[in-house]
Structure 1
Amino acid sequence: MTLSHDLAGNGPSTVVLLHSGVCDRRMWDGQFSALAEAGHRVVRCDLRGFGETPVDAAHTHADDVRDLLDHLGVDAAVVVGSSFGGQVALELAVRHPGRVSALALLCSGMPGFAPSDELRAWGGREDELLEAGDLDGAVELNVDTWLGPEADETARALVREMQRRAFEVQLAVPDEFSPVRTGITADDLAGIKAPALVVAGGHDVPDFRAVADELTRILPDARRVDLDWAGHLPALERPEETARLLTDFLARTTAS
């Protein structure tokens, strides 16, 4: 299967945008065209089970992204990942290191990171709502948790739409089509040689600030940026500022 995707720009460098677990590729509306106008070929995709990409088999998200690069004839790309998309980007860099020239990790997840008791309790609450058939309640729980104080009603409405779509797709998937665990460890991440930008939000859930701490410590070539205004989804909370952050990182990376 080829992931549903959009392309923009025709520059010499390719940038792949990977969405968070409560979103799909529409979360990058505020950065997609801006990065193309800055001189990059930009790809944004829906991972399996999100947006317009169905789930038709057991799968590994990182391998799906590798297959998309093959489909597009891209040898290596800068991979930008938000939250769950950041975890997929890290797994791609471990499993297929030659395909990743640099990483930008926005409030990223991390393979093998153990959630806190508080985050597990939050997940239990989400499960309870879904099992009770309260899709609206589960959607609102995610909107309230993951968007920071800078998010306007347009951003909240878009997250509602994207999260509802993800629930609708994923709840219909049989267990045998679930993602395959990669087994990637912190030691594996320490072998990533690509330069990385690690972004943390001042209003994010504590688990993800702890992940940023770990990634900054583990990745050999990491630069940390803290956004005191950001929650978990800065690309939706301040789209233009996030676009500038990524454009500056790409300019620095391609120049080096």
Structure 2
Amino acid sequence: MLLDHDIDGPADAPAVVLLHSSVCDRRMWQPQWQPLLDAGFRVLAVDFRGFGDTPAPAETYDNAADVIALLDMYGIGQVSLGGASMGGRVAHELAARWPDRVGTLVLLCAALRGHPPTPAIIAFSDSEDALLEAGDVDAAVKLNVDTFLGPRATDETREQVAAMQRRAFEVQLAADDVASVQVDTELSAITARTLVVSGAHDVDFFGDIAARLTAEIPGARHTALDWAGHLPSLEDPAALNPLLLDFLRG
């Protein structure tokens, strides 16, 4: 399956690939899109299977391999890779499996497969499951918005995230439950220059992961944002974008 995506910028420009959170879809990167183009990058943002405009999977799938297939289709070799939450997990797994394809890695409040859950994230997951089992999608959407957006998020941003989360629920709840491939990866295999970003207002689970990613990815740099929740690229783009651009420029 070819992932739905947006791409813009000169074919010979350095490529930046953006991978979205499970609360969102590729629309979450709209505040970064034009600044990246203006900075001279070629920009690609995808919808994973079951999110945004990409249909839900009908068989076992591999998110990282889906991204590689898209890069190969465009003849794009090495990229800068940015990922938020679930997209961050896919990003560091891709960078570990295909280290020659990723020169720069930016992980925003990234997830990590198999990391021990905290009581707070267990409580969130249990509440979300109960609401969806009861058919209360509206409440499940609100739970995600309230949990994952920090204090700088505007009402408009909350509405945007709600729309993206609702779309994901609609697509996924109407489809069969299909598991993704789980490929063992080692963070130590990553060779990309790496920035790990965490938010002070995020669920503690993701702060723990940020510390582990920083410790285990060779040479990784950690930046903690005292103003941010789980989705800093949406909560305050004016504060996040200079950090992102500076790191991408090296």
How does the TM-score come out when normalised to structure 2?
Answer: 0.96
Structure 1 position 198 matched with structure 2 position 196: yes
Please point out which of 168, 171, 180 is paired with 1:169: 171
Structure 1 position 130 matched with structure 2 position 128: no
The worse-fitting range, judged by mean Cα deviation, of 27-36 and 239-248 is 239-248
| Alignment-mate amino acid for residue 6 of structure 2 | D
- Give the structure 2 partner of residue 94 of structure 1: 96
Map 1:1-256 → 2, pairs under 5 A: 1-10=1-10, 12-55=13-56, 56-175=58-177, 177-184=178-185, 188-252=186-250
Render the CA deviation track for 1:66-123: whole Å, top value 9, x for unaligned.
1111111101111000111000001111222221111000111112212113211210
Q: How many Å apart are 1:7 and its aligned residue?
A: 1.1
Render the CA deviation track for 1:35-67: whole Å, top value 9, x for unaligned.
011010000110111000012332011111111
SS in 2 for 1:103: strand
Alpha carbons 1:77, 1:99 under 8 Å: kept: yes
Query: Could you list the runs of 4 or more consecutive aligned residues of structure 1 that deviate by over 4 angstroms after TM superposition?
Result: none
| Structure 2, gaps ≥5 residues long | none
Alpha carbons 2:99, 2:189 under 8 Å: kept: no
Alpha carbons 1:139, 1:164 under 8 Å: kept: yes
Structure 2 CA distance for aligned equivalents of residues 173 and 66 of structure 1 = 25
Structure 2 CA distance for aligned equivalents of residues 162 and 18 of structure 1 = 14
| Alignment-mate amino acid for residue 31 of structure 1 | Q
Alpha carbons 1:79, 1:103 under 8 Å: kept: yes
Q: Report sequence identity in percent.
A: 51
Structure 1 CA distance for aligned equivalents of residues 223 and 97 of structure 2 = 26
Alpha carbons 1:2, 1:71 under 8 Å: kept: no
Structure 2 CA distance for aligned equivalents of residues 57 and 4 of structure 1 = 17
| Alignment-mate amino acid for residue 28 of structure 1 | W
Alpha carbons 2:21, 2:87 under 8 Å: kept: yes
| Alignment-mate amino acid for residue 117 of structure 2 | P
Structure 2 CA distance for aligned equivalents of residues 88 and 205 of structure 1 = 19
Q: How many Å apart are 1:250 and its aligned residue?
A: 0.9
| Alignment-mate amino acid for residue 212 of structure 2 | E
Render the CA deviation track for 1:194-219: whole Å, top value 9, x for unaligned.
11001011111111111111111111
| Structure 1, gaps ≥5 residues long | none
Q: How many Å apart are 1:182 and its aligned residue?
A: 2.1
| Alignment-mate amino acid for residue 239 of structure 1 | P
Q: CA RMSD in A?
A: 1.1
How does the TM-score come out when normalised to structure 1?
Answer: 0.94
SS in 2 for 1:179: coil
SS in 1 for 2:222: strand
| Alignment-mate amino acid for residue 221 of structure 1 | G
Alpha carbons 1:8, 1:36 under 8 Å: kept: yes
Alpha carbons 1:9, 1:37 under 8 Å: kept: no
Structure 2 CA distance for aligned equivalents of residues 15 and 196 of structure 1 = 14
SS in 2 for 1:118: helix
Structure 2 CA distance for aligned equivalents of residues 31 and 84 of structure 1 = 18
Alpha carbons 2:120, 2:203 under 8 Å: kept: no
